Amino acid sequence: MILDIINKKRLGEELSYQELDYFFNGYLNGEIADYQMSSLLMAICINGMSDEEIFSLTKIFIDSGDVLDFSDIPGIKVDKHSTGGIGDKTTLVIAPIVASLEIPVVKMSGRGLGYTGGTIDKLESIPGFRVDLSDEEIIKQVHDINLVITGQTADLVPMDKVIYALRDVTATVSSIPLIASSIMSKKIAGGADKILIDIKVGNGALLQTKEEADKLSELMIKIGKVYHREVRTIISDMNVPLGKCIGNSLEVLEAIDVLKGQSDKTNFTELCIELATEMVSMGKNIAEVEAKKLVLEVLENGKAYNKFLEMVEKQGGNINKIKVSKNELEIKAESAGIVKDINALELGKLSLALGAGKINKDEKIDCTVGIKLEKLVGASVKKGDLLAKLYFSKNIPDYKLEKIFNIR
């Protein structure tokens, strides 16, 4: 049976619900070995899956754990997910914006993966901030302040946890059917009424082409229909990093600046406004122009920032204690010109090498390290101008300036 199923997928044939259920639950229960699951995942990666197979897989994922029920919390609950990028701290800004407009937000976030950072790691750089709230604590906090950002509870789609860990080490992460069922199962089990997905495309993202992103978007919308959830998607660029900062504490501080209205306009502020607008439009059933006005209003009048502070206080954090390493290295321009491009992937690799992410599963993240860009795409620079600052703890990794900044 096990080999028949792998062979079937290897030949590009469609697997039934029963076959997928047998195989995936067999793996979760320890009856199917890593190498057999790896083989099936690679066959899925190469030959793809039909819509029916993807719907079956999503159901198997959802059914592997608890499904949260927030139906007794009034209002439309809107959730958001990003497929992962470099410098992507949008959740820290948009969740408080949306919650300050009386739309309940329960955001279950993940940790960093590969070169991309995770919201939970970023929040943990706020000393004391708890990311392990129980179901009861989550419900109480949404009732009280409309906003929770916490880690996924152990019982939320346990199948995704084991399959994701295996995909990560078998080069099977960037399969569109597997991404679609992984993300959508978590969003549906997480109890959201409506879901916004930020699909990233570019060298610092899982997907490299707009065609792949369109395909993923179409699939996620179809899965949403099966579960009667409205799904909207935004396809955003991940060839350049988001905003100026990469690294956990630095990114939280940048998000705080945006919430306080003290930040320059960057691609990060623009994306935050775009995503928050979609969420508010979904949560209040209003047109996007109207939603955007509300978003800009709560950013200007400080309500969004106050909502963020309320959440930090409820979850035990203290933003005055956020630490950034005192060891700084200035990176200066070696020639004059215009910054044509800043390579997201290279910066992701550098931040990982600095210790802002994990290379091995058992490593600890250093939340004080990272990179702050002082010049962004389009800036004109003279020889010797400051381009970026590296904040390091132990070592300064090797890097090639010309690979990061394209100045012509």
Binding site for ligand URA (CB under 6 A): 83-84, 110, 178-179, 182-183, 206
For residues 251 and 272, the answer to whether their CB atoms sit within 8 Å is: no
Nearest Cα residue to 407 out of 373, 371, 385, 381: 381
In order of 115, 140, 250, 374, the CA distances from 398 in angstroms are 16, 47, 21, 20
Select which of 81, 229, 244, 307 is catalytic: 81
In the complex, what is the shortest distance from the CB of residue 43 to ligand URA, in angstroms, rounded to a whole number? 17
**DSSP string for residues in 72-118:** TS-S--EEEEE---TT--HHHHHHHHHHHTT--EEEEE---BTTB--
How many Cβ atoms are within 10 Å of 316's Cβ, its own excluded? 11
Task: Tell me, yes or no, if 182 is annotated catalytic.
Answer: yes
Burial class from Cβ neighbours inside 10 Å (0-12, 13-18, 19+) for residue 227 reads middle
CB of 172 or CB of 263, closer to ligand URA: 172
From 348, 353, 327, 357, select the one nearest 404 (Cα to Cα): 348
Helix (H) or strand (E) holding 52: helix 51-63
Q: How far is the CB of 181 from ligand URA (least distance, A)?
A: 8
Concerning whether 186 is annotated as a catalytic residue, the answer is yes
Residue 383 appears among annotated catalytic residues: no
Quick check: 151 and 130 in contact, CB under 8 A? no
CB of 163 to ligand URA, least distance (A): 9
Nearer to ligand URA, 141 or 185 (CB): 185
Query: Among 373, 375, 354, 355, which Cα is nearest to 365's?
Result: 355
CB of 230 to ligand URA, least distance (A): 20
Residue 167 bears catalytic tag: yes
Nearer to ligand URA, 2 or 166 (CB): 166
CA distances from 314 to 95, 250, 302, 322, 328 (A): 15, 22, 18, 17, 33
Closer to ligand URA by Cβ: residue 159 or 291: 159
**Burial of 8: CB neighbours in 10 Å, binned 0-12, 13-18, 19+:** middle
Choosing from 59, 107, 167, 232, the catalytic residue is 167
CB atoms within 10 A of CB 66: 16
Which residue of the chain is nearest ligand URA when measured via CB?
Answer: 182
Nearer to ligand URA, 183 or 235 (CB): 183
**81 flagged as catalytic:** yes
Q: Which of 122, 186, 244, 372 is catalytic?
A: 186
In whole angstroms, the minimum distance from the beta carbon of 345 to ligand URA comes to 16
C-alpha dihedral, 406 to 199 to 176 to 113, nearest 10°: 70
Annotated catalytic residue: which of 39, 182, 185, 249? 182
Considering the complex, state which of residue 43 and residue 206 has its C-beta at the smaller distance from ligand URA: 206
Q: Output Rg (C-alpha) for the chain, integer angstroms.
A: 21
For the CB of residue 238, give the shortest distance to ligand URA in the complex, in Å.
12
Residues with catalytic function: 81, 160, 167, 182, 186
